[in-house]
Amino acid sequence: MEDINIQYIKEDMNIVIVGHVDHGKSTIIGRMLADTNSLPLGKLEQVKEKCKRNARPFEYAFLLDSLKDEQDQGITIDSARCFFKTAKRNYIIIDAPGHVEFLKNMVTGASRAEAALLVIDAQEGIQENLRRHGYLLSMLGIKQICVVINKMDLIDYDKSKFNEIVLQYKSFLEKINIKPSMFIPVSGFYGENIVNKSNKMLWYKGKTVLEALEEFRSERLPLDKPFRMPVQDVYKFTKEGDDRRIIAGTIEAGKISVGDEVVFYPSGKKSKVKSIEAFNEKKHFSATAGIASGFTLTEQIYIKKGELASKIDQTKPKVSTKIQVNLFWLGKEAMQKGKEYYIKLGTAKVICRLDEILKIIDASTLDRSDASIIQRHAVAECILKLDKSIAFDEINDIAQTSRFVIVDNYEISGGGIVVHALQDEHSDIREKVAIRNYKWEYSSINPEQRAEMYSQRSTLILITGDRDSGKKPLAKALERELFKKGKIVYFLGIGNVAYTLTVNGIMTNSRYEENINRMAEIANVMLDAGVILIVTAIGLTQGDLEIIKTIISNDRIEVIFVGDKLNTNINCDIHIKDINSLESDTNKIISILQEKGIIFKP
Ligand code: GTP
Ligand code: MG
């Protein structure tokens, strides 16, 4: 076994370069490659020669284009990233052409920037795009920023004009809480102050761009923070009789070692790390932030993609369905209340809705306004409500696990950070469930083994509708049919619950919610046992369903509504308007269950 020790690995640093169109980002990167001797031998001459032949002025941007196809000498360039090395570290420069790419990079780990270069054309000054990017950087918590004033040659390397721009931008950045480490006057085209100190601006006593990069601290590895790993996937060993699974993901913060007790949220399930599996197949004793890794557990608990792994003795992540966020909106259509979007945070993806707008800020002018929708390019402080609870951290605790994007119609349309986890109406229940799962003694037979043995996936079938709509006869007919097919099935009227699990429980209206709770707890056990449970209840609402979903760990629930008109707000999966014949209706339901893979033949 060997301990992964980051000191042995040369540090990687991701730096995003942002600026308005044509302000010189590509030129600066090209220059940097040329002046640090990172280019393949003869490359510069070759590109210059080609330009001459075609009677085109040489551009450093062409250099980058020509490198895209090559992979030698340690520089590779893909669509938006360029890699180069110094003695100190490996740099990955991310050219973020638009807001969406930028947000995507920032939220989805792999090419998340730890520092930024902001490029401003000395002649054109500060443009809107740069202000917005500045705001975004601040919102996403990137504190290491260096401002590069480019094309100084076009303003005769003038000190006072440089100072003017510095003053202007400094005051804007201050308002959004960004303190750039420095402002550097450069000419990308002529290579002044990029890698070599300029002798055209002797009045400037500061650092070159390369020196500024070398000064940035690596923030990629928040090793001192509590352990966090969003579960990306659960891999099963395929060898017969081996029921181990590898819980895989990228560690976002902290460190994990063999023997550590881990808790997964939102479920609250816990186990112990048995082994750490790296992809090079070497065994390791521990793994740290920034590393894609996987581990096996001593106890086989059933967890899924989207959960957040943490360590038992460290600060817990937050779990809620209601969050206060800062959000930057990019969608062509404004973000509006009530509409369904997806929020992607870590590896979780759930439906969310805009619940309340607290304030809206124009990212370019910083003006505040009141509005009931969030227009494109606006920044909003707002409250989002989620369909299911997710686990995350607040920005001030762990930035890596507080960032999210919003998806509208398959497109990333916004993104931001979680400022606060808010109490939602189910916080109490969730707390109780987390304790239950935490204390739970797990069976050595896992849900998949049961599913295979019984040829069914344990599911809660909720049949609701008006009084006397025929729910119960339908439920019992369905139970009989499934039983005949050899399924493990059980009927439970919610009324039965009122007189169980209680000392003197009588179903009254005030006890209604309590009964929903009890039914869900029973369902949780029965589903864990692999059963298909059919429950009937009058007039279930979406609110009731939310409670049930919070309580049962298995989220397989099918809702059948019986009756002419849907008279509650519940989202049903099957609507039976009128029961014609029990036989044909149960057959219809059974074929739907087959289609959905809830029951299957051995
Ligand atoms: P996009 O990728 O289109 O957003 O532009 P960019 O920011 O990458 O700009 P790029 O490097 O392509 O430069 C745009 C133009 O500005 C090119 O014609 C460059 O030659 C020119 N340019 C860049 N840096 C300098 C400079 O320091 N001085 C002068 N005079 N021109 C420059
Ligand atoms: Mg460019």
**pLDDT: which is higher, 488 or 369:** 488
Which ligand is closest in space to the CA of residue 194?
A: 1
Domains and CATH numbers, the chain: 2-215 (3.40.50.300), 229-311 (2.40.30.10), 318-428 (2.40.30.10), 447-595 (3.40.50.300)
Q: What percent of the chain has pLDDT over 90?
A: 48
Dist. CA 19–CA 94, nearest whole Å: 12
- Mean pLDDT of the 113-135 span: 86
Among 18-22, 384-388, 518-522, the range scoring the smallest mean pLDDT is 18-22
353 contacts 325 by C-beta, under 8 angstroms: no
- Top pLDDT among 591 and 127 is at 591
Closest-lying ligand to the alpha carbon of 121?
1
3-class SS at 222?
Answer: coil
Q: Which residue(s) pair with 323 in the sheet?
A: 384, 421
Residue bearing the bigger pLDDT, 420 or 498: 420
Indicate which ligand has the atom closest to the C-alpha of 129: 1
Q: Whose CA is nearest to atom 4 of ligand 1?
A: 21
Please report the atom of ligand 1 found closest to the CA of residue 30: 11
More confident site: 498 or 484: 484
Would you state the pLDDT for residue 2? 41
Range among 99-108, 290-299, 504-513 rated most confident? 290-299
Amino acid 69: pLDDT: 60
Going from the Cα of 96 to the center of ligand 2, the distance in angstroms, rounded, reads 9
Distance CA 482, CA 161 (A): 81
- The whole-angstrom separation of Cα 523 and Cα 548 is 9
Model confidence band, residue 447 (pLDDT cutoffs 50, 70, 90): confident
For the residues 375-385, what does the mean pLDDT come to?
91
Which numbered atom of ligand 1 lies nearest the CA of 186?
27
Nearest CA to ligand 1 atom 20: 59
Closest ligand by atom to 60 CA: 1
Q: Give me the count of residues in the chain.
A: 602
pLDDT at residue number 7: 38
User: Which residue from 488, 478, 484 is spatially nearest to 454, judged by alpha carbons?
Assistant: 488
Residue 214: strand, helix, or coil: helix
Least confident residue range of 99-113, 344-358, 412-426, 507-521 = 99-113
Q: What is the distance in A from the centroid of ligand 2 to the CA of 64? A: 9
Lowest mean pLDDT among 208-217, 237-246, 518-527, 578-587: 237-246
Three-class SS state of 584? helix
Q: Is the pLDDT of residue 70 over 60?
A: no
Place of tokens 């000498």: 73
Judge contact between 236 and 245, C-beta under 8 A: yes
In DSSP terms, 369 is beta-bridged to 360
**Mutation test residue for ligand 1: of 22, 81, 190, the one with most atoms within 8 Å of CB:** 22
Question: Which segment of 97-111, 134-148, 331-345 scores lowest on mean pLDDT?
Answer: 97-111
Residue whose CA is at the smallest distance from ligand 1 atom 28? 151
Q: Which atom of ligand 1 is nearest to the CA of 154?
A: 30
Summarised one tens digit per residue, pLDDT across range 527-542 is 999 999 999 999 999 8
| Euclidean distance between CA atoms 468 and 296, whole angstroms | 51
DSSP result, 182-227 = EEEE-BTTTTBTTTBPPSS-TT--S--HHHHHHHSPP-S--TTSPP
Cα(68) to centroid of ligand 1, in Å?
A: 18
Per the CB < 8 A criterion, the answer to whether 17 and 97 are in contact is no
Residue 580 has what pLDDT? 83
Of 18, 27, 152, which is best to mutate to test ligand 1, by the most ligand atoms within 8 angstroms of its C-beta? Answer: 27
Instruction: Calculate the average pLDDT of the chain.
Output: 86
- C-alpha 23 – ligand 1 centre gap (Å): 5
Measured from the alpha carbon of residue 59, the closest ligand is 1
Compute, in angstroms, the gap from residue 575 CA to the centroid of ligand 2: 55
Predicted pLDDT of residue 139: 83
* Distance from C-alpha of 587 to C-alpha of 68, rounded to nearest angstrom: 59
| Whole-angstrom distance, CA of residue 391 vs CA of residue 254 | 16
Q: In the prediction, which pLDDT does 132 show? A: 82
**Which of 260, 356, 354, 351 lies closest to 309, judged by CA?**
260
Across 366-393, average pLDDT: 89
Protein residues with CB under 6 Å of any ligand 1 atom: 19, 21-27, 59, 61, 150-151, 153-154, 187-189
Cα angle for residues 181, 184, 188 (degrees, 5° grid) = 135
Closest ligand 1 atom, CA of 19? Answer: 7
Tell me the average pLDDT across 470-475: 94
pLDDT over 70 at 166, yes or no: yes
Give the confidence band of 32 by pLDDT, cuts at 50, 70, 90.
Answer: very high
pLDDT at residue 195 in the model = 95
Contact 350, 433 (CB under 8 A): no
- Report how far ligand 1's centroid is from the alpha carbon of 151 (Å): 8
- For atom 26 of ligand 1, the residue with the nearest CA is 151
DSSP H helical segments within 424-541, as ranges?
A: 427-439, 447-454, 471-484, 494-498, 512-528
Q: From ligand 2's centre to the CA of 82, what distance in Å?
A: 12
pLDDT in tens, 319-362: 999 999 999 898 999 999 989 999 999 999 999 999 999 989 87
Q: How far apart are CA 357 and CA 382, in angstroms?
A: 4
* Six-digit token string for 122: 């000395």
Q: Is the pLDDT of residue 205 over 50?
A: yes
pLDDT band at 110 (very low <50, low <70, confident <90, very high): low
Query: Of all protein residues, whose CA lies closest to atom 15 belonging to ligand 1?
Result: 22
Burial of 506 (0-12, 13-18, 19+ CB in 10 A): exposed
Residue nearest to atom 13 of ligand 1 (CA): 24
For tokens 């659960």, the residue is: 234
SS3 of residue 384 by DSSP: strand
